[in-house]
Amino acid sequence: MTEHLKMDQVQPHLLDETGQGVLSVPMPRPEGPLKVTGRAPYAAEYKAEGMATGVMVRAAITKGTYAVDTASVEDMPGYLGVFTDKMVRNAAQGTMGTNPAQMGDKILYLGQPIAVVVAETFEQARDIAAVLKVDYTEDDDAVCDFDGVSDWPDSDKPDQGDLDQAMSDATFTVDSMYTTKPHNSAAMEPHAALAEWDGDKLTLHGSLQMLGYNRDEVADSLGIDAKNVRLLAPYVGGGFGSKLGMSPDCVGAAVAAKALGRPVRVVLSRNNVFEMIVLRTATRQRLRLAADKDGKLLGLGQENWQSNLPDEPMAEPVDLATHFLYGGENRRYGQHVAILNRPASGSVRAPGEAVGMLALENAMDELAEKSGIDPIELRLRNIPEKHPETGVQYSARSLAEALTEGAKAFGWDKRQKAGTRREGEWYIGMGVASAARTNILMESRANVTLNPDGTALVQTDMTDIGTGTYAILGQIAAEMLGLDPQKVTVELGDTDLPKSSGSGGSWGAASAGSSVFLGAKAIRRKLAERLGCDVEALRLQDGVATGGNNRRPLAELMDAPITEEGHIEPGQTDEDFHQAGYGAHFAEVAVNAVTGEVRVRRMLAAMAAGRILNHQTATSQVWGGQIWGIGTALTEAIEHDPRTGHVVNNDLAEYHVPVNLDVGDLEVMFIDERDDASSPIQAKGIGELGLSGAGAAVTNAIYNACGVRVYDYPATPDRIFPHLP
Amino acid sequence: MQITLTVNGAAREVDIDPRTTLLDVMRHHLDLTGSKKGCDHGQCGACTMLVNGRRINGCLSLAVMHDGDEITTIEGLGDPGNLSPLQAAFVRNDGYQCGYCTPGQIMSAKGMYDEFNKGWPSHVSDDLTAEPNFSTAEIKERMSGNLCRCSAYPGICKAIEESAEEEGLTTRKAAE
């Protein structure tokens, strides 16, 4: 049976009534022992009988056509073949469900996958790929840099009111340009695929976030029926958007395996990951704020300029949070996406907010400085009653609590006037920024099985990319069924299991979690029937059912396992309420007065994301957001060669993700909240919320420390030093 | 080429292409996939293992250079049902998320404890000749060769601090 819920109306808080007490509490991940002993298998670690190894070949020109000369390598030891058929230009975009562009012999960016070389061993394949002769015909009309764009496309975003008028009427205004460099997800596990055919059926171990969509993308790319594709990804070494869509290694491995009649494994090199997988576009952003004498916004504007390859169904939604975070009658947005010959732009953790909130929250800091209003007070004054553009009511919205309670815990009252706190050769400052991230519920299914021996099984094709899925799905089932979580087994990452939302957009926990909740709810109803009580009166705890003056161990109520499918779909509450997670980020930094180096001493995040399902894994998610905030603020920048679009720093030595010593003391606090509109488990996403605004808190702290305003990210010493007092 | 490695206490003979890295011998020839490949260029630390007691990046060393060497990989520390103190502390403190950098973090920490015990200074040591302080700053500096993109650094540091004594650290702790 399927327990189906379309989220058309607010649901009761059943999870506050159950008595097991294993939800929300910190619980170590059940798969932890496998991870810390190296026994959790990731995609590249599977083997198959007779497996060959493939290595991707990248385009060495920016734009043109190519032909591989297989004769140049056929005699090399271990050579099995060079394959160019069906090669995809780049990874698919999230939830695309169709093939990415397949270019034939055309090249549109330097680093594009153009072939897969297959040999008996990795060492052989790597050398053959290096030697392979490729004949190129180069076009001379490549455009690789913003400065070379002659014709920016118009934006189709309508204005609300008259921002220009508001700017001239205002007592205080801000009109600033910000720029951000491209970012790379840089998940620690490079993308990998092991493809194995059995007749027409393909089994593929992949490094993927959203298996249901990925199956369709693989099938569409290969021109086969999705029913003939099985994907497996029980462990994924980080995603951050880079594994939302099927990656070129999947197609390369599948095509080669089919042609050779033997399994083929293709693992992307780190350089490949920086080129063949999507990166976050560079942005230019113009921020305008118009405020009255009390700091109340009369209007705001956020226009952005960015780039992508042709025919990519994704643009960085830079202004996503700006639409609903603050009030103001007059509003202008603009989005201009140029076509550049650079690797494809796509989702990197918190698409939109990750860069849009840098500019918005820096501009709010500028406004606070100009108006002489405390940055927290300024934000509190501008929290609207309802959505300032649609008039829709908000669901749970604890922004004010996050700002005020966070400020108290952080010691905001000790913040001094900009440039006045100095310790030796260091300027010290504090900064704040709001956090906001739209909440999304996606269709998701899971099977829940309760066994007479008091164990349970959860099965869904959902992935755990480090987000804690194994833990929280087990906890939800355990809480609903009255079991110790250790008695619940969670099986994930297999398209033979019920189709889930996948991991992306911070919707995984609430969506997949709701499907498990619903499956378990159906089991509760059956148990209540057997016990002879109303389901409302049923209490399940430690393997014993109580209700209607009856008390029976589960084993006495069941002679066979009960399996129920849970199926959640978004519904009317999505229309009736505007849903988002909110929070506040605080940072204290030290800026070196001699070198301009910035050290983040400490950060605090106060987060409100509905019901927190596991305080330990949720805290880790927010740590991740804070540290990504440090990276976006201070170090992370892809540098494209303006002549060729080449990702000059296409490795982890030159693309600087934060290391351990870059990170000061981190504190995370959660605002207790239930979001009734979000889902039957009242939870919202947290992974991207933790990043939204985090970098802006750091750069606002830089301003408070030394009076230098960061307009061009990241705030490397060369961007600070020349402006120091 | 034929070489013999002592891996996690057992002699292992392998016949390998001389281009094979120590990491790939583990992953492709000995089915020890606990050591991870994150960059293959010594930039991320996911392949950290101990060679004759010292931590190295397995991807930066050719296996044929290690004939006769003693190698310890993550598989040599503990089993899922019988974790070493450091492994247990990583689980307890959520010193990971996706788990891909984790074996490297743990092996690196093992090597680091020993470096403390031997009195090796680091970039953040105030006095290069004094016994190093087992402080958070020292740990962070010495663990900065191991990237964690999930950014579990707070949990990683806590796990390393908590299990130091059980793991045989003799250096005095920071007077914090």
pLDDT digits (tens, 9 = 90+) for A646-674: 999 999 999 999 999 999 999 999 999 99
- How far is residue A93 CA from its own chain's centroid? 12
Contact of B81 with chain A, judged by CB distance below 8 Å, is answered with: yes
Decide: helix, strand or coil at residue A658: coil
Minimal Cα distance from B123: which residue of A? A661
Residue pair A109/A645 in contact (Cβ under 8 Å)? The answer is yes
- Structure confidence at residue B174 (pLDDT): 55
| CA separation for the pair B92, A29 (Å, rounded) | 9
**pLDDT, tens only, A328-357:** 999 999 999 999 999 999 999 999 999 999
pLDDT at B127: 93
Find out whether A452 and A560 touch, Cβ atoms under 8 Å.
Answer: yes
Q: Is A688 a catalytic residue?
A: yes
Residue A227, number of CB atoms within 10 A of its CB: 10
Mutate one of B20, B84, B98, B141 to test the A interface: name it (highest A CB count within 10 A): B98
Strands B70-72 and B54-57: unpaired
Report CB contact under 8 Å: B83, A468: no
CB-based contact, B23 to chain A, within 8 Å: no
Mean pLDDT score across all residues of chain A: 97
C-alpha distance from B37 to closest chain A C-alpha (Å) = 7
- Topology, domain A44-141+188-274: Aldehyde Oxidoreductase; domain 4 (3.30.365)
Q: Residue A131 burial (CB < 10 Å; 0-12/13-18/19+)?
A: exposed
Nearest-CA distance A334 → chain B (Å): 32
Residue B172 pLDDT more than 80?
Answer: no
User: Does A123 sit within 8 Å of B98, measured CB to CB?
Assistant: no
The architecture that CATH gives domain B2-75 is Roll (3.10)
User: Which of B40, B80, B140 is nearest residue A33 as measured by Cβ atoms?
Assistant: B80
Question: Which whole number is the average pLDDT over A474-502?
Answer: 98
Chain B residues whose beta carbon lies within 8 Å of the beta carbon of residue A240: 149
Is CATH 3.40.50.1820 correct for A2-40+442-570? Answer: no
Q: Where residue A510 falls among pLDDT bands split at 50, 70, 90?
A: very high
Q: Tell me which residue in A32, A623, A628 faces B91 most closely, judged by beta carbons.
A: A32
| Closest residue to B102, CB basis, from A36, A468, A652 | A36
Which of the residues B97, B125, B148 would you substitute to probe the A interface, choosing the one with the greatest number of A C-beta atoms within 10 Å?
B97
Return the residue matching tokens 């494994």.
A265
List of long-range contacts for A126-131, beta carbons under 8 Å, 24+ apart: A126/A55, A126/B19, A127/A76, A127/B19, A128/A55, A128/A73, A128/A76, A128/A78, A128/A79, A128/A82, A129/A55, A129/A56, A129/A57, A131/A72, A131/A73, A131/A76
Q: In what order do the strands lie in the sheet with A550-553?
A: A539-541, A544-547, A550-553
Q: Which residues of B touch A626 (CB under 8 A)?
A: 151
Q: What is the pLDDT of residue A565?
A: 98
Q: What is the mean pLDDT of residues A352-377?
A: 98
Give A510→chain B minimum CA distance, Å.
Answer: 18
Q: Give the one of B74, B147, B151 whose C-beta lies nearest to A38's C-beta.
A: B74
Residue A191, pLDDT above cutoff 60: yes
Q: Which of A312, A316, A491, A688 is catalytic?
A: A688
CATH architecture assignment, domain B85-162? Orthogonal Bundle (1.10)
Strands A444-450 and A562-570: antiparallel
Check CB contact under 8 Å for A190 and B37.
yes
For A294, the enclosing helix (H) or strand (E) is: none
DSSP secondary structure string, B66-107? GTT-EEE-GGGT-BTTB--HHHHHHHHTT--SS-SSHHHHHH
By C-alpha distance, the chain B residue nearest A650 is B39
For residue A154, the distance in angstroms to the closest alpha carbon of chain B comes to: 37
**B141 CB within 8 Å of a chain A CB:** yes
pLDDT digits (tens, 9 = 90+) for A115-145: 999 999 999 999 999 999 999 999 999 999 9
Q: How far is A188 from chain B (nearest CA, A)?
A: 5
Tell me which chain A residue has its CA closest to the CA of residue B101: A188
Please identify among residues 53-72 of chain B the ones whose CB lies closer than 8 Å to any CB of chain A: none
Q: Alpha-carbon distance A127 to B170, whole Å?
A: 47
Among partner residues B17, B101, B155, which is closest to A188 by beta-carbon distance?
B101
| pLDDT given at position A156 | 80
**Matching CATH topology for A2-40+442-570 and A352-440+576-723?**
yes
Over the stretch A166-186, which tens digit does the pLDDT of each residue have?
Answer: 999 999 999 999 999 999 999
Q: Tell me which residues of chain B, numbers 116 to 135, contact chain A at a CB-CB cutoff of 8 Å.
A: 124
Mutate to test the interface with A, among B93, B105, B150 (most CBs of A within 10 A): B150
pLDDT, average across residues B107-129: 96
Nearest-CA distance A19 → chain B (Å)? 24
Q: Which residues of A554-570 are buried (b: 16+ CB within 10 A; e: fewer)?
A: beebbeeebbbbbbbbb
pLDDT at A151: 87
Every domain range in chain B assigned CATH 3.10.20.30: 2-75
Mean pLDDT, all residues of chain B: 96
Chosen from B96, B151, B153, B176 to mutate, greatest number of chain A CBs within 10 A: B151
Q: Is A660 close to B83, i.e. CB distance below 8 A?
A: no
CA distance B166 to A514: 42
Residue recorded with tokens 């509905």: A610
Is the confidence at residue B173, as pLDDT, over 90? no
Nearest chain B residue to A185 by CA: give it.
B149
The per-residue pLDDT for A154 is 87
Task: Output the CA torsion sign for A246, A248, A251, A254.
Answer: negative
Is B152 at the interface with chain A, CB within 8 A? yes
Q: Could you tell me where the DSSP H helices lie in A146-243?
A: 163-169, 211-222
Residues of A in contact with B88 (CB under 8 A): 36
Q: How many whole angstroms separate alpha carbon A552 and alpha carbon A544?
A: 6
| B108: chain A residues, CB-CB within 8 Å | none
Strands (E), A9-89: 52-58, 64-69, 79-83
Q: For strand A544-547 and strand A539-541, is the pairing parallel, antiparallel, or unpaired?
A: antiparallel
- The predicted model gives A391-401 an average pLDDT of 98
CA distance A132 to chain B (A): 18
Contact (Cβ atoms closer than 8 angstroms) between residue A681 and residue A23: no
B161 to chain A, any CB pair closer than 8 A? The answer is: no
Torsion of CA A414, A419, A424, A426, to 10 degrees: 90
* Candidate from B73, B83, B140 with C-beta closest to A36: B83
Structure tokens at A416: 């001094």
Percent of chain A at pLDDT > 90 equals 99
d(Cα A214, Cα A208) in Å, to the nearest integer?
7
B85 at interface of A, judged by CB pairs closer than 8 A: no
Query: Nearest CB to A657: which of B149, B152, B154?
Result: B149
Spatial separation of the C-alpha atoms in residues A349 and A686, rounded to whole Å: 12
Between A248-260 and A211-222, two packed helices, what is the crossing angle to 10 degrees? Answer: 50
For position A419, what pLDDT does the model report?
95
**Contacts with B57 from chain A: Cβ below 8 Å:** none
The CA distance from A591 to A576, in Å, is 46
**CB-based contact B97 A466, cutoff 8 Å:** yes
| Mean pLDDT confidence for A20-34 | 98
* Chain A residues within 8 A of B176 when measuring between CB atoms: none
In chain B, list all ranges with CATH 1.10.150.120: 85-162
- Chain B nearest-CA distance from A409, in A, is 19
| CB atoms inside a 10 Å sphere around CB B81 | 7
Q: Where are the domains of chain A?
A: 2-40+442-570, 44-141+188-274, 352-440+576-723
CB contacts < 8 A, A to B, total 192
Mean pLDDT of A493-503: 98
Non-local (6+) Cβ contacts of A217 within 8 A are A92, A96, A97, A98, A99, A100, A245, A246
Q: Which one, of A371, A399, A375, lies nearest residue A385 by Cα?
A: A399
pLDDT at residue B176 tops 50: no
- Packing angle, helices A508-531 and A469-481, rounded to 10: 20
- The pLDDT, as a whole number, for residue A158 is 83
Cβ distance of B155 and A623 shorter than 8 Å: yes
Q: What is the mean pLDDT of residues A258-282?
A: 98
Secondary structure of residue A587 in the 3-state scheme: strand
Asked if the C-beta of B33 comes within 8 angstroms of chain A's C-beta atoms, the answer is yes
Query: Would you say residue A165 has pLDDT above 90?
Result: yes
> A352-440+576-723: what fold?
Aldehyde Oxidoreductase; domain 4 (3.30.365)
pLDDT at residue number B171: 77
**Does B46 touch chain A if contact means CB atoms closer than 8 Å?**
yes
pLDDT digits (tens, 9 = 90+) for B31-42: 999 999 999 999
Which residue carries 């009030």 as its tokens? A327
Average pLDDT over residues A480-494: 98
In angstroms, the separation between the Cα of residue A688 and the nearest Cα of chain B is: 12
A465 to B98: CB separation less than 8 angstroms, yes or no = yes
- The answer to whether residue A1 scores a pLDDT higher than 90 is no
**How many angstroms separate the CA atoms of A412 and A431, rounded?**
9
